[in-house]
Structure 1
Amino acid sequence: MALELIGKLVKVLPEVTGQGKNGPWNKQEFVIETLDSQYPKKVCLTAWGEKASDLKQFADGDTLKATFSAESREYNDRWYTELRAFRIELTEGDGAGAPAPGYAAPAGRPAQASRPAQPSQPAGMPFNTTFDDESNDLPF
C-alpha cells in the first residue's frame, strides 16, 4: 500500500549506518509538518539507502511530497511502525491540483474532493444533542 503526504520539511535527523548480513546499510529519518492550517501534524518518515542521500538536496522549510509505505513489526509484545519513504519530491507551494494539505491518499489514485463544510454547533445547543452521521465528523 503506497500513500502520499504533502508538507513542509521541518527537520532532517542524523544518518544512521550499520553492517548487516547483506552488507552495509544506511537510513535517515526526516520530519514533515502537514500544511493543514487548523490542525497541522508532524510526521516522521524514514529514507533508506540512496533515498537517504536524496534528502541532502532539500532544505528546512521546503514543501515536499513523500510517497511512502507503512509497516508495523512486533518485538517483545510491542508494536513498532515505520513509514518508509520511497519517493521524495519538491512540490510547488500553490497547491493547485494537489490533494488537500496533509492528506494521505493512495499513490496512483487522485484525492477525492472533500465534503462541503458542515455548519458548526450553535452556542446555546445542549451537549447531549444527537446528530446524524454526516455532521458528526471530528477534525482528528
Structure 2
Amino acid sequence: MICESKADFLKTLKELKIFKVLGIDFGARKSGLAIYNSEIRLAIPTEVFEDIEKNLEVLLTLIKEMDINGIIIGLPLKFDGSIAANAKHIVKFAETLATKAHIPTILSDERCTTALANTLLKESNIKRKKRNQIDDIVAACILLENFFQNT
C-alpha cells in the first residue's frame, strides 16, 4: 500500500517495537539502497541495483530476507516543489513494488540527495570513479536520515 502521508506511514511502523525500512534512491541506470534500523536509529548503506525494474524479483527477495517493514522511495521534485518529469515513472514503480511487497511504502522528497552525497564523498577525498559507484547508496542513506530526523 502507498501511504499518503508521513504520519500514516510512521503509524504503521510504530506498532512494531523494532522496524527496518528500505530506502531507494531510484535512478534510470542504477538505484541505491540503504536500510534504516529503528533500534540503532541509523541508515546503513546496502547496495546498488542495476536497472531495478528488471530486477524486481531480486529486490522482493531481498526485502523478504532482510525482514523489511516499510519502503521509502525518493521522489524527484523541482526546486519549486512541483513533480519532476520522470516522477510519474517512479510513482508507477512504487505502486508496483508496494503491491508485490505487501508492506507500507511512501514517496519522499529527494531533492539534492545525490548532490549532497557527491559533495560528502568529494570532501572525503573519494576518487570520481569510486564516487560514481557509491553515490546512489549514500543518497539513499541521506533520504532515510532526512525522513526519520526528528521522529
Higher relative contact order structure (alpha carbons within 8 Å, sequence separation ≥ 6): 2
State the TM-score, normalizing by the size of structure 2.
Answer: 0.24
Which protein shows a greater Rg?
1
Q: TM-score, normalised by structure 1?
A: 0.25
Compare the two structures and name the one with the higher strand fraction.
1
